[in-house]
Amino acid sequence: MSIAKVILTLIPFAWTIGGISFANRTRPFVLGVPFLMFWMLAGILLAFICLMVMYKLDTDRQKH
């Protein structure tokens, strides 16, 4: 497993676990939703992008 795949796997985890205390302290609304909900939705989008990049980097998928 390459280091890029490990980093791409850890980014969404760190976003959710590490940033939740930061996101929970603020109280503004972003795009009409509370900041914490916006933070979690952005994390879902970030996880999707990381998985898409990992899929593109995976060379073994060509063999199946």
* Amino acid (one-letter) located at 16: T
* Distance between CA atoms of residues 7 and 57, nearest Å: 13
Are the C-beta atoms of 5 and 51 separated by less than 8 Å?
A: no
Domain of residue 39 covers 3-56
* pLDDT for 45: 95
The verdict on residue 7 lying in a domain is: yes
The verdict on residue 47 lying in a domain is: yes
The verdict on residue 22 lying in a domain is: yes
The verdict on residue 63 lying in a domain is: no
* pLDDT for 63: 65
* pLDDT for 46: 94
* pLDDT for 20: 81
pLDDT (tens, 9 = 90+) of the chain, 64 residues, equals 688 888 888 999 888 888 888 777 767 888 888 888 888 999 999 999 999 998 888 877 666 5
* pLDDT for 62: 67
The verdict on residue 26 lying in a domain is: yes
The verdict on residue 62 lying in a domain is: no
- The count of structural domains within the chain is 1
The verdict on residue 24 lying in a domain is: yes
61: DSSP letter: G
